[in-house]
Chains A and B, each alone.
Chain A
Amino acid sequence: MPLTLEKQIIQLQNQDDAKTRNEIIKAYEPFILNTIVQLKNAYIQIENDEEFSIGLLAFNEAIDKYDEARSSFLTFAKVVIESRIKNYWEKESRHSADSLDANQNAKEELMAIDNLEKTMILRQEIHQLETKLEIFGLDFNKLADASPKHRDSKKNAIDVGIIASKHDDIIQKLYLKRKLPILLVSQKTGASIKVVKTNKFFIIAVIVSIKENLTSIMEWFMNEN
Chain B
Amino acid sequence: MINKGLLVKLNKNDAIVMSDHGRFERIILRDNMQIGMRIQFTDDDLIKSTHNRKEFVMNAKTKIISAVAVMAIVAVGAFGYPLINQPNEKAIAQVDQALEVADVIEVAETMNFSAIVTVDINPSFKLSVDEDDKVVDIKAMNDDAKTIKVDDLVGISVENAVELIVLRSNVAGFIDSTDLDDDFVLISVANVNEEDDDEVESEQAEKILEAIKEKAKESNTLKDVTLAMTKVDEETMNEAEKNSLIAGIMNFTDSQNMTVKEFFEDEDNLNKFLASNDVIPQDIENKIKLMSEYLDDLDDSTMNKETLDQAFRASKDTFFEAKEQFQQANDDYKAALESGDQATIDEAKENLDAAEAYKDQMEQAKDDVESIKEVLKSIYEGDDSSEMKDQEKDELDKIIKRNLKEQEKLEAEEQRRIEKQIKEELKREEEQKKLEEQEKKDEENNV
**Residues on A with beta carbons closer than 8 Å to the beta carbon of B26:** 144
Inter-chain contact B1/A30, CB cutoff 8 Å = yes
B 109-148 binary contact with A (CB < 8 Å = 1; else 0): 1101000000000000000000110100000000000000
- The answer for the CA separation of A197 and B40 in the assembled complex, in Å, is 29
A 151-191 binary contact with B (CB < 8 Å = 1; else 0): 10011011000000000000000000101001100000000
**Residues on A with beta carbons closer than 8 Å to the beta carbon of B23:** 147-148, 154, 202
- The answer for the CA separation of A79 and B6 in the assembled complex, in Å, is 30
- B192 to chain A minimum Cβ distance, whole angstroms, is 13
- The answer for the CA separation of A191 and B200 in the assembled complex, in Å, is 15
Given A30-B2, A79-B418, residue A202 in contact with residue B196 (CB < 8 A): no
- Please provide the chain A residues from 107 to 165 with a CB less than 8 Å away from any CB of chain B in the complex: 118-124, 126-127, 129-130, 139-141, 143-151, 154-155, 157-158
Inter-chain contact A155/B21, CB cutoff 8 Å = yes
How many residue pairs, one in A and one in B, have C-beta atoms under 8 Å apart?
153
Inter-chain contact A83/B419, CB cutoff 8 Å = yes
Given A33-B2, A149-B106, residue A140 in contact with residue B16 (CB < 8 A): yes
User: Does A15 sit at the interface, judged by CB under 8 A?
Assistant: no
- Please provide the chain B residues from 361 to 418 with a CB less than 8 Å away from any CB of chain A in the complex: 410-411, 414-415, 418
Inter-chain contact A30/B197, CB cutoff 8 Å = no
From B34, B131, B411, B422, A123 is in contact (CB under 8 Å) with: B34
User: Does B39 sit at the interface, judged by CB under 8 A?
Assistant: yes
Interface of A, helix, strand, loop or mixed by DSSP: helix
Chain A, interface size: which category? 35 or more
Chain B, interface size: which category? 35 or more
**Residues on A with beta carbons closer than 8 Å to the beta carbon of B30:** 37, 40-43
- The answer for the CA separation of A144 and B6 in the assembled complex, in Å, is 13
- Please provide the chain A residues from 88 to 111 with a CB less than 8 Å away from any CB of chain B in the complex: none
A 183-225 binary contact with B (CB < 8 Å = 1; else 0): 1000000000110011000100010000000000100110011
User: Does B199 sit at the interface, judged by CB under 8 A?
Assistant: yes
**Residues on B with beta carbons closer than 8 Å to the beta carbon of A198:** 131
From B22, B40, B42, A154 is in contact (CB under 8 Å) with: B22
**Residues on A with beta carbons closer than 8 Å to the beta carbon of B422:** 79-80, 83
From B31, B109, B197, B199, A41 is in contact (CB under 8 Å) with: B31
- A127 to chain B minimum Cβ distance, whole angstroms, is 8
- B425 to chain A minimum Cβ distance, whole angstroms, is 9
By beta carbon, the residue of chain A nearest B430 is A87
Inter-chain contact B199/A183, CB cutoff 8 Å = yes
**Residues on B with beta carbons closer than 8 Å to the beta carbon of A140:** 8-9, 16, 24
By beta carbon, the residue of chain A nearest B416 is A79
**Residues on A with beta carbons closer than 8 Å to the beta carbon of B112:** 145-146
- Please provide the chain A residues from 34 to 86 with a CB less than 8 Å away from any CB of chain B in the complex: 34, 37, 40-47, 49, 52, 70-71, 75-76, 79-80, 83
- The answer for the CA separation of A145 and B47 in the assembled complex, in Å, is 11
**Residues on A with beta carbons closer than 8 Å to the beta carbon of B109:** 144-145
- The answer for the CA separation of A140 and B25 in the assembled complex, in Å, is 9
User: Does B445 sit at the interface, judged by CB under 8 A?
Assistant: no
User: Does B11 sit at the interface, judged by CB under 8 A?
Assistant: yes
User: Does A29 sit at the interface, judged by CB under 8 A?
Assistant: yes
By beta carbon, the residue of chain B nearest A119 is B36
Inter-chain contact B418/A70, CB cutoff 8 Å = yes
Inter-chain contact B418/A150, CB cutoff 8 Å = no
- The answer for the CA separation of A143 and B182 in the assembled complex, in Å, is 47
- A163 to chain B minimum Cβ distance, whole angstroms, is 14
By beta carbon, the residue of chain B nearest A177 is B196
Given A71-B411, A220-B6, residue A52 in contact with residue B40 (CB < 8 A): yes
B 1-14 binary contact with A (CB < 8 Å = 1; else 0): 11010101101000
By beta carbon, the residue of chain A nearest B33 is A43
Inter-chain contact A87/B426, CB cutoff 8 Å = yes
Inter-chain contact A34/B44, CB cutoff 8 Å = yes
From A43, A139, A155, A220, B39 is in contact (CB under 8 Å) with: A43
B 75-115 binary contact with A (CB < 8 Å = 1; else 0): 00000000000000000000000000000001001101000
Inter-chain contact A45/B37, CB cutoff 8 Å = yes
**Residues on A with beta carbons closer than 8 Å to the beta carbon of B179:** none
- The answer for the CA separation of A29 and B102 in the assembled complex, in Å, is 27
- A46 to chain B minimum Cβ distance, whole angstroms, is 5
- A119 to chain B minimum Cβ distance, whole angstroms, is 4
By beta carbon, the residue of chain A nearest B1 is A30
By beta carbon, the residue of chain B nearest A223 is B20
Which of the listed residues A37, A42, A182 has the most CB atoms from chain B within 10 Å of its own CB? Answer: A37
- The answer for the CA separation of A158 and B20 in the assembled complex, in Å, is 10
**Residues on B with beta carbons closer than 8 Å to the beta carbon of A71:** 410-411, 414
Inter-chain contact A75/B411, CB cutoff 8 Å = yes
**Residues on A with beta carbons closer than 8 Å to the beta carbon of B410:** 71
**Residues on B with beta carbons closer than 8 Å to the beta carbon of A75:** 411, 414-415
- A193 to chain B minimum Cβ distance, whole angstroms, is 6
From A30, A45, A49, A143, B43 is in contact (CB under 8 Å) with: A30
By beta carbon, the residue of chain B nearest A183 is B199
**Residues on A with beta carbons closer than 8 Å to the beta carbon of B110:** 145-146
User: Does B446 sit at the interface, judged by CB under 8 A?
Assistant: no
Inter-chain contact B24/A143, CB cutoff 8 Å = yes
Given A41-B31, A143-B24, A154-B21, residue A79 in contact with residue B36 (CB < 8 A): no
- The answer for the CA separation of A52 and B18 in the assembled complex, in Å, is 21
Which of the listed residues A46, A87, A147 has the most CB atoms from chain B within 10 Å of its own CB? Answer: A147
By beta carbon, the residue of chain A nearest B10 is A140
Which 8 pairs across A and B sit closest by C-beta, in order of nearness? A123-B36, A224-B20, A122-B36, A43-B39, A119-B36, A30-B42, A143-B24, A140-B9
**30 chain-A/chain-B pairs, Cβ below 8 angstroms:** A30-B1, A30-B43, A40-B31, A42-B30, A42-B31, A43-B40, A46-B39, A71-B410, A71-B414, A75-B415, A79-B415, A79-B418, A79-B419, A83-B422, A118-B36, A121-B36, A122-B35, A123-B34, A129-B8, A143-B16, A144-B109, A145-B109, A150-B132, A155-B22, A182-B197, A183-B199, A221-B22, A224-B4, A225-B20, A225-B22
